[in-house]
Structure 1
């Protein structure tokens, strides 16, 4: 019965959160990336439940619009950015960081950022003694980290470099899944995106891919 309820919950567009993640000691970081607009309501729910201390988004804020390929969608993109910024800025997070992707517009995001920090390129941030590298592209992330290996490297864009946790660093691809990082222990909790998120990212329904 629990399995059926879980499946129905997921089919409704919700995600399941591991009990261990719910009881993370903290402080915590929630890493997301390449988010389609359909995901925004579920993000708000997650933020209300998890209450991360830091939110890091590694680019392509409205990934279903593909702004780089379709600049005529700028107005729709701006409306999406306003919604997303309202969600993160109303959360309990102390810090919100965006590193923009190829389908983002720096001017639009900066205009509506509120208290969020917005970066066009890779950036290394320090939170509670942990060095966290944030970038949209994994190669940009590791170029930025060349002189100093961070504790975590967060990125998105594509799946050419999947997540890898090694003794040197924890490299986390935000397209594969969301990540809740417990900065007190270094533990990483994987939270799968809602069913259909990849289809939304790739516009499969509309383009019939």
Structure 2
């Protein structure tokens, strides 16, 4: 204790100006820390604002209308949860390296044909019957696009040649077990795809 008393005796008494300066330096330091700490809060607020702007693109419950995923094996998976925003899906497929034309159709409708020139007999034919059936496995339109489950399709770009367009026509089935029917074809390079004009489809 005597050592402490001796030490305090060596410390000069602070003047009023010294105390005021110390208080000012302490206050300045607190303001500096406060500014640094509020920066992440501003970033968080900006993130909330961005999320609010993006909200209209999200379907109920936070589920997106669709999702495009590039897989390690080079294939592309499209998960379709809601039939809307075909242009957005087309743009996302283009960003993934696939030129596509996407149409969403009401129940019991189809796109009036012909819209384009197909790469194989799958487009414009009533179906793979008779002599056509033997070669259907080799049609690239069937190889390029496959239905995975009730909400997903898988696109295999290896079967799409440069300049070709993948034409996707989704028809609403109004059925939870089978939400949509897909028509998928490849349009020849140099063959423009006409806009979809919905017409009744009794089938």
Q: Judge same fold: TM > 0.5, yes or no.
A: no
* Largest Rg, 1 or 2: 2
The TM-score normalised by the length of structure 2 is 0.30
Structure with greater helix percent: 2
The TM-score normalised by the length of structure 1 is 0.29
